Chain A
Amino acid sequence: MIKKINIFNYEAYYLDYLEGNISEEDAAVLLDFLDKHPELKMEDEELPIFLEDKVSFRSLDFLKETDDTDQINEKNVEHFLISKHEAVLSKEKEEELEKFIATNPAAAKSDRLFEAVYFTPDKRIVMTGKSDLKKEAPVVLWPYYSGIAAAMIAAFFFLYNPSPTVNVKPVQYAQIDTKNGTVSSQNETASKPKVQEAIIFSPITNLFTTSEPSTSTTVLENGQENQNSTEEPVILNNQPSRPMVATLDNKEIVPISTIYKNPVEATNGNEYVAYTEVNDMQNPIEPITTFISEKLKTEIDFRQPKSKNKKGFLVKIGKFELERK
C-alpha cells in the first residue's frame, strides 16, 4: 500500500507498475499521481519492451554431433549431405539419403549447394622463381687440386732433375733407451753423421704398443729377427716405411728417415727428438706445397738436396711417399 507518493519515490512504484507487481489500489494511486504530474509520465516509445525470450536450445543445435546411424530427417539431413559429398557415408545411408532427397525438394536444393562448395586448384597458378629454391651439389675439387699438384711437382722435378742418379746414403737410426726414455741418433757405420737440423720427430710412446723397459728384440733391416731376451718384443704401432732395425746394448732402435713433423711442435718436452743429416734437403717450392696442403688438408711435401752436387728428391702426398736418392 502506497503511503505517500512524491517525485522522489514515484519511480519505484512506476517500475513495479510496469512490471505488473503492483496492486490495483496502488496502481490507481500511481496513475492519479502521474495525472497530476504529466511531465513524469513516460511515453510508449520510452518504455522498455520485454519480449519473450526467443533464445532456445535449438539455436545451439550446431554444437551437437549427429550420429551417423541416426535416421535421416529434416534436422540432420545436412550432416548426411556433407558426409555424402565427403565420401564418408556408408552405402546403406547413401541409399536412404537418396530416397529422402527424392521426396524432399529442400533437401535436394541443399544437396546441390553442398556439391558446389568444393574447391579445385587452378594449375595455371605457379610460383615464379622456383629455381631459386633449388640447391646445387657442392663441387668436389680435391681430385682436381691433387692432379694439379701432382702435375706441378712432376713438372718441377723433371725440369730440375733431367737425369737423376741414385745416391745411397747410410741408413739412419734413432736409438731409444726405453729405460731412460732417451733417444740418440746412430748410423749403420761407426761414424756419427753430421747433425744440424731436426726434421724427424715422433713421441716414442706412440711408436710402440708396449714399452717393456729391457726389451732386446733385434729386427734387422732385411726383416730378420734376433731375439736376445725372453721378454715380450717391442712392436711398432705406427710402423714407418722401413722396418724396425737393429738394437745395440739392449737399446731399441727405429729408422728415422720417414717420419715428418714440424720441429717446433716436437719440442714440447713430452716428445723425443731424433736428428739426421736429412737437413741437407730443402723444399724449393714451399709456398706452393704449403698452399696446396692447406687447400687439400693433406700433407704435401717436396724436397731436394740443398747441394747441387747431390741428386734425389722426396715427394710426399698424404700417406703416399716417393723417394729417390
Chain B
Amino acid sequence: MTIKEYNLAVDNYADNVFRFVLKHLGNEMSAKDVVQETFTKVWIKRDDIDHRKVKSYLFTAAYNTMLDWIKKEKRSGDIESNHEYGIENNTNPDLREILDEALSRLPEIQKSVVLLRDYEGYNYAEIAEITGLSESQVKVYIFRARKSLQSYLRRLDLVI
C-alpha cells in the first residue's frame, strides 16, 4: 500500500472506524486513541497490506485494539462511558436511546458483531474474518443479540 492509498484509506474509513469504536466505548477521547493506534498499526504494516482489503484490515485492527483497550481499562478501573453521541439520526430518538441502552448491556462480542453488521453491512463471513470467529459463531452471536435487544424492548412494553 502506497502513501497515497494509505491517506485515501484515512479519508474513506477513519470516520467509520471511529463511529464503530465510539459506539463500543462511548467516550470520544478513548475512541480517538483507539483509532489513532489502529491507523498506526496499519501504517507500520502498509507494505504487507493490499489496499483493496484495507477496510477489512482496519476494522480487524480496530476491533483487536479496542478489546485490548477495554481489558487494560478494566484492569485499571478507568472505564468512563458517557455516551455523549448516544442520539442518532432517527425519526424516533427515544427508541434510539433505548436501543443504545440495550446495546450497552450486550456482551462485547455480540455488540461488535451487531455493529459490524448494521453499521458496515458486513456479511457473516467478513465479520468472522474480522473478529476471528467462525461464520456459524457469528450467526449465533447475532441471533442472540437480536433476541436480547428485542426482549429489552418487549420488557419496556414499547409500542412499535
Q: Which residues of A contact B (CB under 8 A)?
A: 62, 65, 78-79, 82, 85-86, 88, 109-110, 112-130, 132-137
Task: Verify B146–A85 contact, CB threshold 8 A.
Answer: yes
- CA gap between A112 and B95 in the complex, in Å: 13
A128 contacts across to B, CB distance below 8 A = 32
The total of Cβ contacts below 8 Å across the A-B interface reads 100
Which residue, of A120, A127, A128, has the highest number of chain B Cβ atoms within 10 A? A127
- CA gap between A132 and B35 in the complex, in Å: 11
Task: Verify A127–B35 contact, CB threshold 8 A.
Answer: yes
Interface readout for B91-114 with A: 1 if CB under 8 Å, 0 if not? 000010001001100000000001
Q: Smallest distance from the beta carbon of A133 to chain B beta carbons, Å?
A: 5
Q: Which of B4, B18, B88, B90 contacts A127 (CB 8 A)?
A: B18
- CA gap between A133 and B12 in the complex, in Å: 12
A82 contacts across to B, CB distance below 8 A = 142-143, 146-147
Interface range for B: 35 or more
Task: Verify A125–B85 contact, CB threshold 8 A.
Answer: yes
Task: Verify A114–B18 contact, CB threshold 8 A.
Answer: no
The answer to the question of B118 belonging to the interface, with a C-beta cut-off of 8 Å to chain A, is: yes
- CA gap between A133 and B39 in the complex, in Å: 7
Q: A113-B150, A117-B153, A120-B90 are in contact. Are A135 and B15 (CB under 8 A)?
A: no
The answer to the question of B19 belonging to the interface, with a C-beta cut-off of 8 Å to chain A, is: yes
The main secondary structure of chain B at its interface with chain A is: helix
Q: Smallest distance from the beta carbon of A247 to chain B beta carbons, Å?
A: 53
Q: Smallest distance from the beta carbon of A101 to chain B beta carbons, Å?
A: 14
The answer to the question of B7 belonging to the interface, with a C-beta cut-off of 8 Å to chain A, is: yes
The 10 closest A-B pairs by CB, nearest first: A117-B149, A127-B18, A119-B118, A122-B88, A112-B160, A113-B150, A121-B119, A134-B7, A133-B10, A133-B39
Assuming A86-B142, A119-B115, what are 16 further A-B pairs, CB within 8 angstroms?
A: A79-B143, A82-B147, A109-B160, A110-B154, A114-B146, A116-B160, A119-B88, A119-B114, A122-B89, A123-B89, A125-B85, A127-B31, A130-B14, A134-B7, A135-B6, A137-B3
B81 contacts across to A, CB distance below 8 A = none
Task: Verify B15–A133 contact, CB threshold 8 A.
Answer: no
Nearest B-chain residue to A114, judged by Cβ: B150
Task: Verify A117–B150 contact, CB threshold 8 A.
Answer: yes
- CA gap between A86 and B113 in the complex, in Å: 13
A78 contacts across to B, CB distance below 8 A = 147, 150
Q: Smallest distance from the beta carbon of B114 to chain A beta carbons, Å?
A: 7
- CA gap between A120 and B7 in the complex, in Å: 26
- CA gap between A133 and B11 in the complex, in Å: 9
A-B contact pairs, 30 of them (CB 8 A): A78-B147, A82-B147, A86-B142, A88-B139, A112-B160, A113-B154, A113-B158, A114-B146, A116-B95, A116-B99, A116-B160, A117-B149, A118-B118, A119-B88, A119-B114, A119-B119, A121-B88, A121-B118, A122-B19, A123-B15, A123-B89, A125-B15, A125-B18, A127-B31, A129-B32, A133-B14, A134-B10, A135-B3, A136-B3, A137-B3
Q: Smallest distance from the beta carbon of B24 to chain A beta carbons, Å?
A: 12
Q: A117-B153, A134-B7 are in contact. Are A127 and B32 (CB under 8 A)?
A: yes
